[in-house]
Structure 1
Amino acid sequence: MILICKKYKEKNESYEEVVDWLSYNNAQFEFLSGRHHYEDGKDWSIELNNTKDNSSQDFSKYKSVWFRGFLQHNTHLSSIFDTVECSNNNVAELRWRLGQEISKTNTQIFNNFKNAFQLPNPKSTKVDKFSNLRLAKNLGLEIPPSIITNSKNDLKAFFRKHKEIITKPLYETLNFEEDDSFISFKTDKIEESEIYNLPDTFFPSFFQAYIEKDIELRAFYLEREFYTMAIFSQLDPMTKVDFRNYNEDNPNRKVPYLLPKEIEEKLKRLMKELNLNTGSIDLIKSPDKKHIFLEVNPTGQFGFVSKACNYYIEEKIAKTLIKHDS
């Protein structure tokens, strides 16, 4: 039996196509989301004592687990906060504390899958971009010069050295939606005037040297195989800094791309060190032909790579899950 861990009511075309391929191949599968454990009223327990360590739920039937997510963090348990009457500071503290409790509880839920094939292991999905950059550097991959700082003076020196710099979140990209408004924190270029307007110290933030690119690369990794796409994002001012600033009226050209074997081997070592058997890897190919590692997203989207390059990744994921469900 295959178990698909997902966010409640996940709507994603590629995810749905994997499910279609599983059905086409007559695979047996079930779904699990955080809602089952936190919000739908079903009872469960994990009991531990000197003679017992077991769960009231039988997960032993699952031989293959596809982890796409578990909770929609911006909406889960929202009913708790609808009736809370306290200051914004206390609500923020309560949300943070509750998030920590959920994280620790999830660890014990996921521990039930330890004897199954996991794509990927949920314990390996927490993104730490700076640590991943350090590991990539140690494995011989090129990386952009990077800094985490709260110092205006250090940021000014970093800017003077590299001339052009960007900032991005250290963790995952964050989106806010409110009525008809949408705000997204992605990669942004920093102008010198913005630095001079900063206070002497500010919230610690992540900056990198802006790397001029020949092409942008997205490599989807699945069990030591790469499915790589080249994105000609530098030809459009709207997507030049970050191709995720999509231009729907004039989409970037996207074509299949073959990574050099040397780069593939280093990336394989990186994924092994991160205990990841799948993920979406972002790179840049610079005008001087260097392949520069940017980041890896363990549960990144793959549909636009699959469709643009005719890789049929959805079918390959389904067959990988089926292969291990035996």
Structure 2
Amino acid sequence: MILIISKNSDRSTIQVIKWLSSIGKNWIRIHEDEFFEIKTIKKRIFLKSQRNKFFLDEIESVWYRRGGINFKRLQYNNSSINIHMNEAQHWLEDYIIKTLESKRHINTQTNAHVNKLVVLEVAKKIGLEVPDYFLAENTDDIILEQTIVKSITGNVILESINKNEDGVMYTTTIKETEEKNFFISFFQKKIDKDFEIRSFYLNGTFNSMAIFSQNDEQTKTDLRKYNMEKPNRNVPYNLPRAVEEKAQLLMTALDLNSGSIDFIKSGNNYYFLEVNPIGQFGNLSTDCNYSLERKIAEFL
């Protein structure tokens, strides 16, 4: 049995499930709004939610896509007992998650989110080229037009009150200084790029795509500012073997066997930007005819 942990709205999950069904594999999809009760039946751990039920030992492989396994905890009237039982239930839940992560898997719930600052430090130690970066709470030492600012975290979505005008924190070129200090932010040297590269990594294999985002002023600094009327040109691309080898060392150091990795090519240099363990790969699969969903299904 294959266990898939995902969010309800993830389209890539649906495509992988179609491939699993086509090759006759049994699967269970855990949604983000499920809560599991932990039981035992004839000395076997049994998990049951409002949608799914399975024995822990019948799971053979796990794909952690998004979300996570949520548990329904028992509650007691006695506060002292409640404190003790919460701790006991925590360790039981931890055992279940770690047991699932010991199976054949694509990433895990415990390493689904990486620290960008730590990743960049590891990347530099391994030998990947990384654009110069620093943290600052003002623009006193910023070189205007040659420095960008981006989120320290991943892809930040700012939800509006009415839910109809969500905002995104895009990478931006610094064009003017700020008079006041602000919260410590991530700044990086702006690289004049030939093109960007998105590479999907799965268990030692890279499938890469060149994205010609610099040809459009709208996507030049941040390709996520998609131009729907005139999309960027995307083509299959092969990273140099030396770059792939270093990127694989990075993924191994981060204990990741899958993820989306971003590079910038500038002249003869390949600059590493970041890795997202749960990054989107649908357009990479479709535009380059890589059929990544099939490859994920076959790995599982």
- Normalising to structure 2: TM-score of the pair? 0.83
**Paired position in structure 1 for 2:201:** 221
What residue identity is the alignment partner of 2:174?
I
Q: What amino acid maps onto 1:43 in structure 2?
A: E
Aligned: 1:133 with 2:111: no
- 1:10 offset after TM fit, Å? 2.2
Distance 1:123 1:146 in 2: 27
Question: Structure 1 CA distance, aligned partners of 2:277 and 2:285?
Answer: 16
Shift of 1:297: 0.2
Match of 1:80 in 2: none
* Distance change >3 Å, CA 55–CA 170, structure 1 → 2: farther
> What is the match of residue 59 of structure 2?
62
**Out of 169, 172, 182, which is 2:151 matched to?**
169
The match for 2:249 among 254, 259, 269 is: 269
The more displaced of 258-267 and 167-176 is: 167-176
Deviation at 1:227, TM superposition (A): 0.3
Please say if residues 255 and 309 of structure 1, whose CA atoms lie closer than 8 Å, have aligned partners that are also in contact: yes
Alpha-carbon separation, structure 2, partners of 1:71 and 1:191: 40
Distance 1:169 1:106, change over 3 A: farther
**Who is 1:124 aligned against?**
111
What are the Cα deviations for residues 179-201 of structure 1, in whole angstroms up to 9, with x where unaligned?
43121113122222xx233x1x3
- 1:82 corresponds in structure 2 to none
Counterpart check, 1:181 vs 2:180: no
Q: Give 5+ residue unaligned stretches, structure 1.
A: 47-53, 73-102, 322-326
Within 5 Å, give how 1:224-303 maps onto structure 2. Answer: 224-286=204-266, 288-303=267-282
Q: SS at 1:203's partner residue?
A: coil
**Aligned pair in 2 of structure 1 residues 311, 116: CA closer, same or farther (>3 Å)?**
same
Aligned to 2:52: none
Deviations 1:47-71 (A, max 9, x none): xxxxxxx955332211100111125
Distance in 2, Cα, partners of 1:19 & 1:301: 16
- Is structure 2 residue 299 aligned with structure 1 residue 320? yes
SS of corresponding position for 1:44: strand
Contact kept, 8 Å, 2:145 with 2:173, in 1: the verdict is: no
What whole-Å deviation, never above 9, does each CA across 1:215-251 have from its counterpart, x for those lacking one? 0000000110000000000000000011111000000
- Tell me what 1:143 maps to: 130
Letter of the 1:16 counterpart: I
**TM-score when scaled to structure 1?**
0.77
> Could you tell me whether the CA contact under 8 Å between 1:173 and 1:185 is conserved in 2?
yes
Q: CA deviation at 1:262?
A: 0.5
Structure 2 gap segments, 5+ residues each = 48-54, 70-89
SS in 1 for 2:110: helix
Quick one: structure 1 residues 106 and 238, their matched pair in 2 at CA, closer, same or farther if it must change by over 3 Å?
farther
Alignment match, 2:21: 23
Which residue matches 1:3?
3
Distance in 2 between the 1:71 and 1:117 partners? 17
What is the alpha-carbon distance in structure 1 between the residues aligned to residue 9 and residue 57 of structure 2?
25
